[in-house]
């Protein structure tokens, strides 16, 4: 039986999230049976070294023993109560301890939900309507934010989507990543109307694009001067760049932070948090409504807690960085040997090679990449047992489960593939 054909009969496009369908690289998606550590296995028992890591959450690898054991313990006591549990306090405490600007946090079930709620909160707190986002940044698929969004939307050439009323999209203003003047202009043209600026502090949904020196600092100051809130969407960067995410890494103090992916350790969790004064206008303390039947779900909390505990152990990030750098340096060395000058952006354990020469510092740069070359590269890597994201405009992630052997093998395969393509 062809599983993809079967899936397509019952699920639109055969998938529950569009990029999984291989639309931008062609061919058919592999169906996964299981994962362990750094590897995933498809239904035909082929093994792949995995650098998608469920699109970021699995920073400690697949099927981590500690997480699985904790889940087994928790599941014996039930799966959901719709009433408070101690586990929610435990995860909230860890988040407040790790993330510098978060004094209080509310758990939700996905990144999309976290961002949607954060936007509502920012609008209520400032009593303003407009939002500034950056071209190529993705903040989930809620209506206000599905405008000029990266990755899936980008891959499918749908910068916005039918079904999003113009009236909503009009309240979302678009700035250029790494261009502070573009934000200043929006503030000039919309004096006193902008509730918040939302940004991925390191963009991870148009490939990986790093903030230029001072860009985030200038953004922080600009927001403060204009009375707008700064929202850091740290759904990728949170617990990825370091324990405290991009805000700790770059020394920025956002007003609201959204979290997702790693915080759930592979289970569906999102969260938004910030200063107490802002968070306490959320219901039931304040008037801003936001709720969730399964929010704070005990299984999801348990996976998050165990993951964050592992991240808090000595040298976790140092070791991850050493490993990642070895891989990034290997890739760069391969390119040099073959006289290839493709842009390669990386920070800590996330990276992206763009099939484009010259720097990639914005969305306009990123989209100059040759996606046909990426598709060829992707399939060749996959055939040799390395799983990358099926889109040029995504990050690859290293986990603590990747071994030196995995890294060396990946560097070797990367060389073979590039040599076949360009040698
Ligand atoms: C993945 C992602 C989201 C959306 O999270 P979901 O859990 O997929 O809804 C939002 N923002 C960023 C930066 C993301 O990478």
Q: How many CB atoms lie within 10 A of CB 108?
A: 26
Q: Whose CA is nearest to atom 11 of ligand 1?
A: 139
Residue 103's domain spans which residues?
65-311
The contacts of residue 89 (CB under 8 Å, 6+ apart) are none
Residue 307 lies in a domain: yes
User: Would residue 21 count as lying in a domain?
Assistant: no
261 noted as active-site residue: yes
The span from the CA of 345 to the CA of 361, in Å, is 9
CA of 270, closest atom in ligand 1: 7
Whether 274 and 256 have beta carbons less than 8 Å apart is answered as yes
CA of 292 to the centre of ligand 1 (A): 18
Q: How far is the CA of 176 from the centre of ligand 1 (A)?
A: 20
Please tell me the distance from the alpha carbon of residue 341 to that of residue 331, in angstroms, as a whole number. Answer: 11
| 14: in domain | no
Residue ranges lining ligand 1, Cβ < 6 Å:
110-112, 115, 138-140, 200, 204-205, 233, 235-236, 260, 270
In-domain check, residue 301 = yes
Q: How far apart are CA 297 and CA 293, in angstroms?
A: 9
Closest CA to 24 of 421, 331, 371: 371
Our count of domains for the chain comes to: 1
Query: CA–CA separation, 166 vs 144, rounded Å?
Result: 10
- Ligand 1, pocket-test mutation among 55, 112, 231, 295, most atoms within 8 A of CB: 112
Instruction: Compute the distance from residue 343 Cα to the ligand 1 centre, in Å.
Output: 24
Using an 8 Å Cβ cutoff, are 130 and 194 in contact?
A: yes
Q: Is 380 annotated in the active site?
A: no
Between the CA of residue 258 and those of 43, 177, 218, what are the distances in Å?
Answer: 35, 19, 20
Does a structural domain hold residue 396? no
State how far the Cα of 189 lies from the Cα of 306, in Å rounded to an integer: 47
Q: Is residue 422 part of a domain?
A: no
Mutating to test ligand 1, I would choose from 151, 177, 260 the residue with most ligand atoms within 8 A of its C-beta, which is 260
Which residues are registered as beta bridge partners of 132?
173, 197
Q: What is the CATH number of the domain that holds 125?
A: 3.40.640.10
Per-residue pLDDT of the chain (423 residues; tens, 9 = 90+): 899 999 999 999 999 999 999 999 999 999 999 999 999 999 999 999 999 999 999 999 999 999 999 999 999 999 999 999 999 999 999 999 999 999 999 999 999 999 999 999 999 999 999 999 999 999 999 988 887 765 555 544 344 688 888 788 889 999 999 999 999 999 999 999 999 999 999 999 999 999 999 999 999 999 999 999 999 999 999 999 999 999 999 999 999 999 999 999 999 999 999 999 999 999 999 999 999 999 999 999 999 999 999 999 999 999 999 999 999 999 999 999 999 999 999 999 999 999 999 999 999 999 999 999 999 999 999 999 999 999 999 999 999 999 999 999 999 999 999 999 998
Given ligand 1 and candidates 235, 239, 269, 391, which is best to mutate, with the most ligand atoms within 8 Å of its CB? 235
212 closest CA partner among 56, 359, 398: 359
Distance CA(379)–CA(27), nearest Å, equals 9
Is there a domain that residue 95 lies in?
A: yes
Instruction: Assess whether 138 carries a catalytic annotation.
Output: yes
Cα 235 to ligand 1 centre (Å): 6
Sheet architecture: strand order including 104-108: 104-108, 270-274, 256-259, 229-233, 194-199, 130-134, 172-175
CA distance to 74, 123, 198, 330, per residue, from 223 (Å): 43, 14, 10, 40
Please report whether residue 325 resides in a domain. no
Ligand 1 centre from 139 Cα, in Å? 6
């Amino acid at each position: 039986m062809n599983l993809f054909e079967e899936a397509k009969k019952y699920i639109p496009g055969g998938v529950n999230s569009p990029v999984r369908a291989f639309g931008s690289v062609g061919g058919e998606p592999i169906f996964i049976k299981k994962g362990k550590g750094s590897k995933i296995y498809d239904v035909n028992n082929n093994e792949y070294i995995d650098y998608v890591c469920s699109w970021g959450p699995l920073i400690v690898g697949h099927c981590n023993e500690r997480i699985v054991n904790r889940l087994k313990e928790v599941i014996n006591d039930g799966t959901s109560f719709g009433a408070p549990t101690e586990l929610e306090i435990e995860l909230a405490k860890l988040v407040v301890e790790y993330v510098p600007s978060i004094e209080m946090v509310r758990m939700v079930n996905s990144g999309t939900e976290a961002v949607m709620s954060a936007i509502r909160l920012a609008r209520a707190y400032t009593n303003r309507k407009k939002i500034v986002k950056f071209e190529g940044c993705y903040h989930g698929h809620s209506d206000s934010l599905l405008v000029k969004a990266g990755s899936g939307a980008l891959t499918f050439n749908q910068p916005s989507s039918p079904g999003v009323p113009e009236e909503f999209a009009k309240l979302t203003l678009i700035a250029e990543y790494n261009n502070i003047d573009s934000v200043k202009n929006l503030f000039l043209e919309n004096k006193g109307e902008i509730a918040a600026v939302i940004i991925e502090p390191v963009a991870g949904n148009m490939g990986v694009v790093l903030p230029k020196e001072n860009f985030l600092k200038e953004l922080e100051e600009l927001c403060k001067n204009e009375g707008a809130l700064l929202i850091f969407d740290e759904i990728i960067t949170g617990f990825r760049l370091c324990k405290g995410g991009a805000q700790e890494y770059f020394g920025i103090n956002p007003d609201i932070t959204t979290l997702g992916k790693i915080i759930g350790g592979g289970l569906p969790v999102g969260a938004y948090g910030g200063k107490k004064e802002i968070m306490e206008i959320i219901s039931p303390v304040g008037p801003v409504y936001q709720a969730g039947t399964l929010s704070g779900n005990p299984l999801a909390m348990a996976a998050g807690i165990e993951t964050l505990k592992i991240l808090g152990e000595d040298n976790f990030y140092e070791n991850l960085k050493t490993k990642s750098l070895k891989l990034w340096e290997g890739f760069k060395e391969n390119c040099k040997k073959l006289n290839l000058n493709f842009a390669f952006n990386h920070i800590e354990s996330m990276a992206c090679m763009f099939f484009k020469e010259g720097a990639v510092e914005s969305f306009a740069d990123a989209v100059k990449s040759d996606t046909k070359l990426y598709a060829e590269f992707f399939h060749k890597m996959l055939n040799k047992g390395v799983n990358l994201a099926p889109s040029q405009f995504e990050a690859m992630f290293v986990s603590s489960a990747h071994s030196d052997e995995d890294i060396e093998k990946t560097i070797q395969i990367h060389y073979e593939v590039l040599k076949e393509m360009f040698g």
